[in-house]
Chain A
Amino acid sequence: MKNNIIEMTRGFFNITVAVNGEKKELAVRNGEFLLDALRRHGWKGTKKGCDTGDCGSCAVILNGKPVLGCLVPAVAAHDGAITTIEGLGSVREPHPLQAAFVEAGAVQCGFCIPGMILSSKHLLDVTPNPTEAEIRKALDGNLCRCTGYVQQVAAVKNAAKTLAGKGKRA
């Protein structure tokens, strides 16, 4: 990058981003959205649902706030810090939210869950002990076609309790 211009080489722009705490140089295509760039580079936990900013499946945390990857030009994320679902936990070591979603049976087809968990993560970061109304409001941009929005709300409540317990022990 020279004079604040992201230069194109062989049809790609190279942007610098921190993904899940790791600094990366990502080659992104002209006209590519953050969602598609993340998936092409292997972060396939970020789901492509409606591609019109309606469903919330592609939510990622960009510079501390959930945004929709399908509406962010990838180049606009340059210099940013991104958290995808892969940054929260793994199958062996799930984040308390991930564990709570599994335990509550909040996952059927699973497509909306990464976005839903990242929205919930931001909620619990700013509101550690949310009311049911606050949980429902925080998730009102994450559409689920399987479950009826009951178990997810229970899962977020349970995760909040787990996280509060961890805070006390620490």
Chain B
Amino acid sequence: MPEIIVKPSTLRELWVMLPELPAARRYLAGGTDIVTADNAGVEPSRCWVDISALPELGAIKETARALFIGSCVKISKIEASAAVRKWCPALTAAIPHFASPSLRNMATLGGNAANGSPCADGACALIAEGAFIFLALKGSKRRLLLKDFFLGPKKTALKKDEVILGFEIPKRRHAGAYFKLGPRAYFGISKAAVAVTAEISGGVIRRAAVALGSVAPVPLLAVKTGAWLAGRALSPGSAALAAALVKTEVAPITDARSEAGYRREMCGVLLERALNSLT
């Protein structure tokens, strides 16, 4: 643990205190990733800036066109939100697969994204939801599609000292699913995961997005598969064809958790199951 932990109470206070702090500093939200990394001697820092109490980052807000989930909202609070259940079905389906209940009381979507892991369940589901990520650095704010935020394993578009404000999900009525294959039913890091969202009317998919976890250097938006699904009838036949297509879009590797070939195959299986679960 670093020798200095500071806890600003507003964003304004944060920007004022930053120049006084050691250069080797990191933001602390739920701590579930950076505490374990620090304990293991990976990415040590001299200062943690605890942003968990910043009111600007701590709320779920609904406007006429979008749902905004603050970066430091605890996963368990998102789990309990009726608005999230209504507008983010893939994220809702992902949450039971997100770590364990006690970790969900600590962890946040901001941390899940900032960690830059290709296996992040929250990030993968949010990409399928078409989420934007909002970032702030002192006076300047910017917005990116979340799929463009991830640059590689542990690499994101975050600049030094930039804060994730939260995630905006456009309000569109859609169906969604999240299927994950881990070492056991719950509480494991995925070998492969698939998030799907689809606007369906009259048995036809009008628009679809497919995102995959743990099978590429970043949480991956399968652009071709999503585009192929648009305009197709939702049927076991189209699900099987989409499953064949998605296997050509992923780039899995063999590592401690699984093997490349198996992962690629499972992307198809999980997508087929996910599509067949939609109604």
Binding site for B on A (CB under 8 A): 4, 30-33, 51-53, 56, 59, 65-68, 71-73, 75-76, 119, 122, 137-138, 140-142
A73 touches B1 (CB 8 A): yes
Residues of chain B contacted by A53 (CB below 8 angstroms): 32, 35-36, 103
Kindly state the interface size class of chain B when it binds its partner. Answer: 20 to 34
A71 touches B100 (CB 8 A): no
A76 touches B103 (CB 8 A): no
Residues of chain B contacted by A76 (CB below 8 angstroms): 5, 7, 31, 50, 52
> B76: CB under 8 A from chain A?
yes
A67 touches B105 (CB 8 A): yes
B102 touches A141 (CB 8 A): yes
Residues of chain A contacted by B96 (CB below 8 angstroms): 137
Q: How far is the CA of A15 from the CA of B36 in the complex (A)?
A: 23
Q: How far is the CB of B111 from chain A (nearest CB, A)?
A: 12
Q: How far is the CA of A34 from the CA of B57 in the complex (A)?
A: 24
Residues of chain A contacted by B52 (CB below 8 angstroms): 76
Residues of chain A contacted by B100 (CB below 8 angstroms): 56, 140-142
A140 touches B39 (CB 8 A): no
Residues of chain B contacted by A119 (CB below 8 angstroms): 101-102
Q: How far is the CA of A59 from the CA of B186 in the complex (A)?
A: 18
User: Closest chain B residue to A50 by CB distance?
Assistant: B36
> B66: CB under 8 A from chain A?
no
A140 touches B76 (CB 8 A): no
Q: A51-B39, A140-B100 are in contact. List 6 more A-B contacts (CB 8 A).
A: A71-B106, A73-B35, A119-B102, A137-B101, A138-B101, A140-B187
> B99: CB under 8 A from chain A?
yes
Which 3 pairs, one residue from A and one from B, show the smallest C-beta to C-beta distance?
A141-B100, A65-B105, A31-B1
User: Closest chain A residue to B80 by CB distance?
Assistant: A126
> B279: CB under 8 A from chain A?
no
Q: How far is the CB of B273 from chain A (nearest CB, A)?
A: 19
> B3: CB under 8 A from chain A?
yes
User: Closest chain B residue to A126 by CB distance?
Assistant: B80
> B254: CB under 8 A from chain A?
no
User: Closest chain B residue to A140 by CB distance?
Assistant: B186
Identify B36's interface contact among A31, A52, A59, CB under 8 A: A52
Residues of chain A contacted by B74 (CB below 8 angstroms): 65
